[in-house]
Structure 1
């Protein structure tokens, strides 16, 4: 863990953003540099956002007052400080106060307001970076196309997503059912997941596609291990390049998540999911076309959708 001095030094790192007369980084960029590079929980991100938005006030508040303003407990503020590599709340204030004083001295109110508005744009910029990284991954499509063929052949095909990853798993399963004859969604952990995975294997399934987005759940790791235990192979979509989840997977694809807002956003994992669906569709074009045509006929017959 870095020392307090090292963590405070991050606040002086040169990062993209508006420059001051001394060619140093703007105070809001110094604060973001201090908070950046750390995996923060949603509650901790609320603290970080409050400090960023109210820097000149927050840097001089007591731990009691800051916790009250954000709407969290005092231990939550302490854990936030230690998650940044600092020894505690006093060290956090010590790191913030020089930045706050420079903001008071050099930043007009209109500029500080613009910084707050641009936080949403910064979140979009971070997702653009994630998509650029994914674009580089797609430069070599062999592994993705191979996975598409394997998932298309697995009947049934099991899609696993627990807790925050449920939404991605549901999207994938919903779309995959349009082109695959037997798709099974597992969105509950524990013995329910174990039963579903065992049934899928006994029914002839060979693959599980698992989603593991932060914060990574222990029950996801347990379910992946259970799948491997039944003889199923595991393909993993996650934001990790290393760790126990990746080690348990037969194939792993990494897609970064946006972490600038209170809750993560999933632009890159969503695009990666759509690309794997495309690879599945291309792996068996005749089956894909037949199933899509049948679905369109059913949609028209039962009047599923609005007409514009």
Structure 2
């Protein structure tokens, strides 16, 4: 009899192709709009602020936006021109259309409830944005194949990102023969990354959650220097860590409580894991069956 996990792996295989009725999320649209390699650091700050505060920022005057970001008004004008608009009014009109579309999709907020319920509402919004991003799953499928083919596969997460990296590595080991987890920065990370490359590894999956650490940026640069490609899961659409990655999956994090919550990044992890299982179904089946036999033999789990 197939194990429940093996059956789930088969039943939940990802189907390629874009869902015809789905629209990209506002975050995805803004990432595409602002993905200009020649943006200055100040312009990148403007872009990041607009992405993170779209529903409010779309209705700010040029003066208010400049004050919020900490740049000059001419800088905002130059930014609008750099991303393809005739000026700030034209950019703001586009932003307002995105913001109003997002509000319509999200529905009215008259009954937000208490702060805990508001935090859950924010996470639901993050998941809805991720759902729209998944309308075209081909990028997830492609990266999943690359991660599955990288032997060894290195998973990197430092500081607050350790928990997500540990979860991914723990699950990936069920379907991948050599997963190496890096949770310390500096020379320790460099040693691990270099050894992974020398052993034949080609990819690193890195996590960068807020607050974003300098040592994460350095570790990602070390991975690139070692000859590894980097897939990044983060809440950022722009920034130095994103610039160093070969492919980025940007997902929202819950920030309504003292400590962030990670519903959308967790689903992103599960989607990449599914794509890895789909990439090599025979290996997946064999490894899951071997694991189930070991689990039964050593009684790893309680009987439900």
TM-score (norm 1): 0.63
Distance 1:219 1:247, change over 3 A: same
Alignment partners' CA distance in 2, 1:179 and 1:118:
41
Match of 2:210 among 214, 225, 237: 214
Q: Secondary structure at the match of 2:114?
A: helix
1:270 aligns with 2:266: yes
Q: How does 1:110-125 map to 2 (within 5 A)?
A: 118-125=114-121
Match of 2:224 among 220, 225, 228: 228
Alignment partners' CA distance in 2, 1:205 and 1:180:
12
Distance 1:85 1:148, change over 3 A: closer
Question: Structure 2, unaligned stretches of length 5 or more?
Answer: 1-51, 55-66, 71-110
Alignment partners' CA distance in 1, 2:256 and 2:292:
39
Q: How does 1:248-267 map to 2 (within 5 A)?
A: 248-267=244-263
Q: Secondary structure at the match of 1:160?
A: strand
Count residues with an aligned counterpart: 201
Runs of 4+ in 1 over 4 A off after TM superposition: 83-86
State the partner residue of 2:297. Answer: 301
Alignment partners' CA distance in 2, 1:161 and 1:232:
16
State the partner residue of 1:151. Answer: 147
Which structure would you say has the larger RCO, counting Cα contacts within 8 Å and 6 or more residues apart? 2
Distance 1:232 1:85, change over 3 A: closer
Of structures 1 and 2, the larger Rg is shown by 1
Alignment partners' CA distance in 2, 1:300 and 1:84:
58
Alignment partners' CA distance in 1, 2:270 and 2:138:
16
State the partner residue of 2:123. Answer: 127
- Deviation (angstroms), 1:278: 0.1
Distance 1:259 1:300, change over 3 A: same
Alignment partners' CA distance in 1, 2:286 and 2:261:
34
State the partner residue of 2:193. Answer: 197
Alignment partners' CA distance in 1, 2:179 and 2:282:
18
Q: Secondary structure at the match of 2:292?
A: helix
CA RMSD in angstroms, aligned pairs only = 2.0
Q: How does 1:29-68 map to 2 (within 5 A)?
A: 37=53
- Deviation (angstroms), 1:199: 0.3
Alignment partners' CA distance in 2, 1:84 and 1:279:
40
Alignment partners' CA distance in 1, 2:270 and 2:195:
27
State the partner residue of 1:71. Answer: none
Deviations 1:175-207 (A, max 9, x none): 000000000000000110000000000000000
Q: Secondary structure at the match of 1:188?
A: coil
Question: Structure 1, unaligned stretches of length 5 or more?
Answer: 1-35, 39-82, 87-114
Q: Secondary structure at the match of 1:171?
A: helix
Distance 1:85 1:253, change over 3 A: closer
Q: Secondary structure at the match of 1:259?
A: coil
Q: Secondary structure at the match of 1:209?
A: strand
TM-score (norm 2): 0.64
